[in-house]
Structure 1
Amino acid sequence: MLSARSVFEEILDNDESFQLFCSIAASGESQGGWENARIAALLPEGQRALTAKVTRHGADEDKHGRIFNALLKKRGLDPVPVPPETDYTMLLEQRGIGLTHEKLRREEPLTERDVVVYLAHSRVTEQRASDQMDMLAKYFGDHPEVGRAVTMICRDEDNHLAYCHEELLRLAAAGHGRTILDTLHECARAETRVYRDVSIAVMSHMARILGWPKPKSAALASGIQAIYGYERFGGWRRMVSLKPPERRDALGGPATSAAGFA
């Protein structure tokens, strides 16, 4: 039976597909780590209280990148180049979502609006990350090879999402509500398209590696398009709503270690 679980089991069981999967994941997490580190360094004076939390966010993302690389090393595999069409972070930036790498490479302080854009972008992308890791934890939380990694990253992503809710609500109360709402909607619309395109590209590479027959590849592509259709016509709302999180001050304190991985 074709299911998300069976597809991921195939990917995990084959060295070449596992290598590509972990390389894509490690690259995305490492980019997130760099971006958050730069944002922490460039926060405007009025938002410097966020420095420790943004730094923690970046440290967590760096840790996740090291975990995926450690999973590769444990199998005796090296990271492989990430195909451009599977680079979620780069494709979002190309569509004008989030803060550009060009801006982050400068030594100019960010504006308060930049902070709003960063947090709104993170609110949307962390929802995606949390959803994905929840699914992987459900299916593979007890997996002997990846279970501990999946569980650890899942917990971190939930913390990141809680942090975004809390800080965006704070900024909304300070008068940024309209900007937050507009930015969330813009990000969500672009993200659902990018996620669809990246998912199809990743599955195309996996189909080649695993030798999937054309009907199976077509069925998976149709499933991805169906998810996009659901998100386009209403599912996107889960990515833009804001509510006080159950986990308060989720990024207070230092980042947790990746003991046993890296």
Structure 2
Amino acid sequence: MLSARSLFQEIVDDDESFRLFCSIAAGGESQGGWENARIAALVPRSERDLAPRTARHGADEDMHGRVFHALLKKRGLAPVPVPADTDCTMILERHGIGLAHDRLRADRPLTVPDIVGYLAHSRVTEQRASEQMALLRRYFGDHPDVGRAVRMISGDEDNHLAYCHEELLRLAAAGHGRVIRRTLRACALAEIRIHRDVSLAVMAHVGRILGWPRARSALLTFGIHAVYACERAVGWRRMVSLRMPEHRNALGGPATPAPEFA
């Protein structure tokens, strides 16, 4: 029977598919770490209180990248280059979602609208990350090799999502509510489309590695398109709502040192 659990198990059990999965994950997390570190360095004076929390966000993401590399090392595997069609961060940037890397490389302070755009983009992508890690925690939280990493990263992604909710609500109360709503909607609609395309690309790469028959690949392709249709119709709304999180100031403390996985 084809299920999310059996699919993930097949990927984890095969060295080459696990290698690709961890390389893609590590690349995305490391990019997120760099982006948040640069944003923390460039926050405008009026938002200077945001800088330490953004830096903590970046430190967490960078640490997640190191954890995925450590999981590879533990299995005696080296990372592989990330295929361009699976690089979600850069694809989002090409579609104008989030702050462009050229902007972040410039030593010029960001503006408050830039910060709104960054937080809206993060709120949408952290929703996806939180949901995906919750799924992995459900299936692999007790796995002897990856369980500890999955549990830790899942908790961090929940904190990142809480941080985005709290900061966007603060900015909405300061008069930026209309821009936030408009930006969240644009980011959510772009993200679900790009998530579909990246998911199709990842499944194609994994399918070639694992030698999936055409019928199985077709079934997975249909499922990805079906999920997209549901998200395009109504599911995107979960990515644009804002509520004060139970865990306030989720990124207020120092980053937790990365545990040893290798």
TM-score by length of 1: 0.99
**Stretches (4+) displaced over 2 A:** none
- Cα deviation for residue 260 of structure 1 reads 1.7
1:248 equivalent in structure 2 = 248
Residue identity matched to 1:202: V
Structure 1 segment 65-80 matched on structure 2, within 5 A: 65-80=65-80
Does the alignment pair 1:82 with 2:82?
yes
Q: What RMSD in Å do the two structures reach over aligned CA positions? A: 0.6
Partner in structure 1 of residue 238 of structure 2:
238
Kindly provide the CA deviation profile for residues 92-138 of structure 1, in whole angstroms up to 9, marking residues without a partner as x: 00100000000000000000000000000000000000000000000
- Deviation per CA, 1:23-65: give whole Å up to 9, x if none: 0000000000000000000000000001110000000000000
Q: Is this contact kept in 2: 1:43–1:51, CA < 8 A? A: yes
Mapped partners of 1:225, 1:139: distance in 2: 23
Equivalent pair of 1:66/1:261 in contact (CA under 8 Å): no
Partner of 1:208, secondary structure, is: helix
Displacement of 1:261: 2.8
**TM-score, reference length from structure 2:** 0.99
The whole-number CA distance in structure 2 between the counterparts of 1:257 and 1:147 is: 17
Residue of structure 2 in register with 1:111 after alignment: 111
Aligned residue pairs total 262
C-alpha displacement of 1:208:
0.2
Aligned to 1:157: 157
Q: What does residue range 1-262 of structure 1 map to in structure 2 within 5 Å?
A: 1-261=1-261
8 Å Cα contact 1:192-1:231 kept in structure 2: yes
- Gap regions ≥5 residues in structure 2: none
Q: Provide the rounded CA distance (Å) in 1 between the counterparts of 2:4 and 2:223.
A: 10
Tell whether the 8 Å contact from 1:40 to 1:55 is kept in structure 2 after alignment: yes
Identity of paired residues, percent? 71
SS of aligned partner of 1:109: coil
| Structure 1 range deviating more: 250-259 or 99-108 | 250-259
Contact map agreement 2:26 2:65 (CA 8 A) in 1: yes
Gaps of 5+ in 1: none
